[in-house]
């Protein structure tokens, strides 16, 4: 990764971070740093995450009549993670309904 140092952009009073390569190119050609950076956008490649085993702990399952916003949020996140290939488990107070992910009732009437 190119070394970055702080430099002043002629059009601004605030310091900006400029890669050392761009500063060198600017010195040789006299072009503006922002022009040389805009010409070649950099996109970092991120490897796909490995499948994970994820456990949620909740007071209730969405199937419980007293379920609210937090249970709905957990259900939506768990559904999305399951669709993404992750193994999801929800541990919650009973009663528990069947879902696309594993639900384990910890007992009780939450």
Is the per-residue pLDDT at 108 higher than 90? no
> pLDDT tens-digit profile of 51-93?
999 999 999 988 888 899 999 999 999 999 999 999 999 999 8
Least Cα distance to 48 among 84, 16, 77, 98 occurs for 84
The whole model's pTM is what? Answer: 0.54
Is the per-residue pLDDT at 42 higher than 80? no
Task: Give 6's pLDDT tier (boundaries 50, 70, 90).
Answer: very low
Pairing of strands 15-19, 4-8: antiparallel
Task: Look at residue 90 in the predicted model and tell me its pLDDT.
Answer: 95
Is the per-residue pLDDT at 98 higher than 60? yes
Determine the average pLDDT of the residues in 31-54. Answer: 68
CA distance 1 to 90: 41
């Amino acid at each position: 990764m190119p070394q970055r140092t702080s430099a002043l952009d002629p059009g601004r009073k605030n310091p900006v971070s400029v890669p050392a390569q761009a500063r060198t190119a600017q010195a040789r050609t006299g072009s503006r740093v922002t022009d040389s950076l805009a010409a070649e956008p950099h996109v970092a490649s991120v490897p796909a995450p490995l499948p994970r085993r994820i456990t949620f702990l909740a007071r209730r399952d969405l199937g419980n009549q007293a379920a609210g916003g937090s249970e709905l949020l957990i259900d939506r996140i768990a559904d999305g993670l399951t669709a993404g290939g992750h193994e999801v488990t929800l541990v919650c107070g009973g009663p528990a309904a069947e879902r696309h992910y594993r639900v384990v009732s910890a007992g009780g009437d939450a």
